[in-house]
Amino acid sequence: MTSYVLKPLRGYTPFDGPVVLVIMDGVGLGKRDESDGVFLAYTPVLDGLMTEPLYATLKAHGAAVGLPSDDDMGNSEVGHNALGAGRVFDQGAKLVNAAIASKRLFEGEAWKAVAARALSGGAVHFIGLLSDGNVHSHIDQLLALLDRCGKEGFPRVRVHMLTDGRDVDERSALRYIAPLEEKLRALSVEGRDYRIASGGGRMWVTMDRYEADWSIVERGWRAHVLGKGRPFASAAEAVQTFYDEDPGVNDQHLGEFVIVENGRPVGTIEDGDTVVCFNFRGDRAIELSRAFEEAEFPYFDRERTPDVFYAGLMQYDGDKMIPRHFLVEPPEIKGTISEYLCAAGVTSFAVSETQKYGHVTYFWNGNKSGYVDEHLELFVNIPSDVVTFDQRPWMKAAEITDATIDAIRTGGRKFIRLNYPNGDMVGHTGNPAAVRIAVEAVDLGLARLLPAVRDRKGVLVVTADHGNADLLFTDKNGKREPHVAHTLNPVPFIVKDFSGANAFHMPGVAQPRLSNVAATLLALLGYDKPEEFDPSLVQL
C-alpha cells in the first residue's frame, strides 16, 4: 500500500478555523466589456476580494491542464483533476490521439474483440458527441476509428451522433455532419455499409450525468438501440428540420431522431453487435455505459437488452470499472491531496449540487468514486433542478452555501471545498440576463460565506476551474453570435486569511496554473508539499 506522508511546514502556527475552498465553476477573467458576463454582473464581494494582497490569476486551459495544445479550452473534468492532484497529467484527448497515432489502440484486447464480432457479421455502433470541441470527444478521433474499420474490412458500421452546441457554436451541427457523411460514403465500398443511424442534442439525448435525469438516457436508448424516434431520411435533414421548426432551438436541445429507409430504422442495435462510446470524457458517458452493462437496471424500461460487446473509448470510472472494456487506458492519478490529507488525519467536507458533485469528489480525487477515508471525509450532494439552467440561474447556490456555513459553524472539518456550478451551467445556455444572475448568485454566496469564515478565524480561498460566463458572445463577420462554450481566459485565485496566525505572502510562481492550488492549500493547512506537487502560490 502506498504511503502518503506530509511534513510540517516550518514556522507555521496552527489555528482552529477551517480552510474553505470555493470553486466558482466557469467564472473566468474576460475582457471587461459588454461581452463579459462576469464583468457585467453586480459582484461587489468578488470585486473586493480581487483587490486582496494574496491574489493571482491562473491558467486553466490547454497544456496547463494536460490538453494537447493551448488552443484547447479547459473544462471541469481536467480542471478538478489538476486542482486535486497538484500536478498535470496528460488528459483524455491527448491520450487518445497518442494511442491512435501509435496504433496502440488497435493492438489492445478491446479492439480485437470489436474486430472479432464485426468480422463475424455483427454491426459496429459508435455512439458519442459529434464535434471538435475536444472536451468530451473530437470528430477526428471518430473519423480515425471509422478509417480503421474500413481498413480491417468491417462490413457494417453505424454512427449514433449527438449534436453539441455547447463546446462549439450553438448551431454548428451541419458543419460536422457533412464530413462524417462524406467519410461514411467513401468507406461504403466493396460490400461495406456505413451510415448514420440516429442522433439528438446532447442535453436532451443520452448524455446525462450524476443521475440528474435518467430520461435523457432513456430517450437515447430508445433512438440508438430500439430505433424509436422521429424518422428522417438523413441526419442533415433532421437537424435542418429542427432549425426550421424552432428558430430558437440550438444543437444542445435537438430532439431524438432515427434514420429510416423504406420505413424501417437503418441501425437498431441487435444481438451480436458491438457498441463503442467514442467520448473520452467520463461524466456524461457513465450512465449510457451502465444501461448497456448492468443486468439489474431500475432507471427505465429498456424493453430489450441486446447481447453486445460494449466498450468505452476510455474507462469512465476506474473504481466502479465502468465500462468493463475500453480502448485507451485513462490517466492513472495517484497521490491526490485527499489521499495525503487523509493519511495525515485531516478531516474534510465537500459539497455541490448534482451537476458538479462529481467534480468535487470523483474528479478531485483522481477519477475515483467514493471516500478515501469515510471516517475523515463527508460528501454532500444537493439535487439539482431538472430544468434548463437559464430558467433558474441561481440554481442551488443558496443551498450549497447553507450546507457550507453549517459545516463551518459546526466545526470538526478542517478542509472544506465547494463548487458553485452557476457560471458554467448557465453560461452554456447563452442567455446573457441569466448569466449575469448566475454570477450574482455566486457573489451572494461569497457574501454569506465571508462572515462565517471570519467568525471561525479561518481562511477563505476562491478560484475557478475554467472560464465560461466571461464570454457571452463573439463577433463574426459583423454578426454577433452567442458564445456557449468554455473560454481560454485565466481564472482568479484569492486567499483571504482571517486566522491572523501566519504571515503568508505570494513570491510569484512562474506561469501559475490550477495545479499550483493543491500545494497552496497544504501550506495554508500547515504542510510542505509532496515532492511531485507543483509549487505553492503562498509562502511564509
pLDDT digits (tens, 9 = 90+) for 186-234: 999 999 999 999 999 999 999 998 788 999 999 999 999 999 999 999 9
Question: How many C-beta atoms lie closer than 10 Å to residue 116's C-beta?
Answer: 12
Same domain flag for 185 and 322: yes
Is residue 115 pLDDT above 60, yes or no? yes
Same domain flag for 142 and 253: yes
Q: β-strands 415-420, 19-24: how paired? A: parallel
Is residue 331 pLDDT above 80, yes or no? no
Distances (CA, A) of 341 to 96, 337, 358, 415, 531: 32, 6, 19, 9, 15
**Model pLDDT, residue 87:** 97
Cite the DSSP H helix spans in 326-412: 337-343, 354-358, 397-410
**Model pLDDT, residue 479:** 84
Q: Per-residue pLDDT tens for 163-172?
A: 999 999 999 9
Cβ pair 123, 273 in contact under 8 A: yes
Distinct helix (H) and strand (E) counts, the chain: 16, 18
- CA distance linking residue 136 with residue 42, whole number of Å: 32
- By the 10 Å C-beta count (0-12 exposed, 13-18 middle, 19+ buried), 378 is classed as middle
Same domain flag for 367 and 489: yes
Kindly report the backbone phi and psi dihedral angles of residue 429, in degrees, each rounded to the nearest multiple of 5, phi listed first.
Answer: -80, -20
Cβ pair 292, 308 in contact under 8 A: yes
Using pLDDT thresholds of 50, 70 and 90, give the confidence band for residue 92. confident
Domain boundary among 308, 328, 348: 328
Domain boundary among 298, 328, 358: 328
Q: Is residue 292 domain-resident? A: yes
What CATH number did the domain enclosing 347 receive? 3.40.720.10
Q: Is residue 538 domain-resident? A: no
Mean pLDDT estimate for the chain: 95
- CA distance linking residue 68 with residue 137, whole number of Å: 13
Strands (E), 88-147: 124-129
CA angle 161, 422, 436 (to 5 degrees): 110
Same domain flag for 462 and 513: yes
Question: How many C-beta atoms lie closer than 10 Å to residue 505's C-beta?
Answer: 10
Same domain flag for 169 and 256: yes
Q: Mean pLDDT throughout 159-183?
A: 96
Same domain flag for 103 and 203: yes
**Structural domain harbouring 65:** 20-90+332-525
Chain-centroid distance, C-alpha 375: 28
The whole-model pTM stands at 0.77
Structure-derived torsion over alpha carbons of residues 304, 308, 314, 320, reported in degrees to the nearest 10 = 60
Task: Cell numbers for 278, please give them.
Answer: 467514442
Same domain flag for 160 and 29: no
Query: Could you tell me what percent of the chain has a pLDDT over 90?
Result: 87
Instruction: Report the range of poorest mean pLDDT among 67-81, 101-115, 276-290, 510-524.
Output: 67-81
Same domain flag for 494 and 416: yes
- Please choose, from the candidates 83, 88, 84, the residue with its C-alpha nearest in 3D space to the C-alpha of residue 493: 83
What CATH number did the domain enclosing 310 receive? 3.40.1450.10
Active site residue 172: no
Q: Is residue 118 domain-resident? A: yes
Instruction: Report the range of poorest mean pLDDT among 138-142, 145-149, 170-174, 364-368.
Output: 364-368
Q: At what angle do helices 139-151 and 173-187 cross, to 10 degrees?
A: 10
Q: Is residue 10 domain-resident? A: no
* Number of domains comprising the chain: 2
Same domain flag for 276 and 215: yes
- Where is pLDDT greater, at 412 or 73? 412
Instruction: Report the range of poorest mean pLDDT among 8-17, 124-133, 472-481, 517-526.
Output: 472-481
Strand-pair partners of 156: 193
Question: How many C-beta atoms lie closer than 10 Å to residue 386's C-beta?
Answer: 10
Residues 6+ positions from 186 with CB-CB distance below 8 Å? none
Q: Mean pLDDT throughout 174-186?
A: 98
Same domain flag for 359 and 429: yes
**Model pLDDT, residue 320:** 74
Same domain flag for 182 and 162: yes
Kindly report the backbone phi and psi dihedral angles of residue 151, in degrees, each rounded to the nearest multiple of 5, phi listed first.
Answer: -60, -35
Q: Mean pLDDT throughout 403-415?
A: 97
Q: Is residue 493 domain-resident? A: yes
Cβ pair 539, 507 in contact under 8 A: yes
Domain boundary among 328, 361, 384: 328
**Model pLDDT, residue 318:** 64
76, 198, 289, 384: the active-site residue: 76
- Which is it for the CA torsion 428, 314, 282, 79, positive or negative? negative
Q: Is residue 15 domain-resident? A: no
Q: Is residue 42 domain-resident? A: yes
- CA distance linking residue 37 with residue 529, whole number of Å: 36
Task: Cell numbers for 394, please give them.
Answer: 441561481
Task: Cell numbers for 255, please give them.
Answer: 430532439
Same domain flag for 364 and 491: yes
- In which region does residue 492 sit, left (phi positive, over 0), alpha (psi from -120 to 50) or beta (all else)? beta
Is residue 121 pLDDT above 70, yes or no? yes
- By the 10 Å C-beta count (0-12 exposed, 13-18 middle, 19+ buried), 175 is classed as middle
Cβ pair 207, 162 in contact under 8 A: yes
Q: Is residue 63 domain-resident? A: yes
